[in-house]
Amino acid sequence: MAKNMTVGGAATKAALDAMLARLGGGVFRLRSSTTTLANVGFNATAFAGATMAVPAVATANTMTPSGVPTAGTIDNGQWITSTAVVDISFNIDTSGNTPDMIVSNPVIPGTATSVTISGLTYSLEIGPTP
C-alpha cells in the first residue's frame, strides 16, 4: 500500500502562520559560535500571512536594523521570540561547507555601523497535497 497521506494548502498555511506569529517583536540573531554579532528586530507582526499554495510562502514585514554590530564571521542564526524562546536555529556558511544556509560572504567587518535583513521568506511544504 502506498504511503499517501496528504496535507492541503490551507492546513499548511495555518501551520506556518501560527509558527511565525510567535516571532512578533522578537529578534533575528546573527552569531559567531555563541557570540552575538547583531540583533535584527522582527516587526510586531513578524510575517504577513502566508500564501495558500503549496509550498506556503510567508514574507517578513519590515525589520528593525541592529545597532553597531560586533565584527566577526557569522556561522549561525537564531529566530527568537519576544519572550526569549529560541524557536528556529540554523548554521550559516559558504557553500563549500554544506551549511543549512548558504551565503557568499558571512563576514561583518569592523567598518559596519549596522546590519539588517530584507526580503526574508519562509516556505513550507508539509507533505503531498490531496
Partner 1 sequence: MGQDNEQTGRAVNDWTTEPALGRVKVSFTLEITHEDGSVTKHLCEGVMENLNG
33 Cβ neighbours under 8 A, 6+ residues apart: 75, 76
- C-alpha triplet 59, 62, 64: angle, nearest 5°: 130
- Say whether residue 128 binds partner 1 (CB under 8 A): yes
Judged by CB under 8 A, does residue 99 bind partner 1? Answer: yes
Interacting residues with partner 1 between 70 and 89 (CB under 8 A): 74
61 touches partner 1 by CB under 8 A:
no
- Please report, as residue ranges, which positions from 4 to 43 form the binding site for partner 1 (by CB under 8 A): 7, 30
Can residue 1 be called a binding residue for partner 1 (CB under 8 A)?
yes
Grid cell of 63 as nine digits: 525589520
With beta carbons less than 8 A apart as the criterion, state whether 30 and 89 touch.
no
Q: Which of 92, 96, 129, 130 binds partner 1 (CB under 8 A)?
A: 92
C-alpha dist (Å) from residue 119 to 8, 60, 62:
26, 7, 9
Site for partner 1, rule CB under 8 A:
1, 3, 7, 30, 55, 60, 65, 69, 74, 90, 92, 99-106, 108-109, 111-128
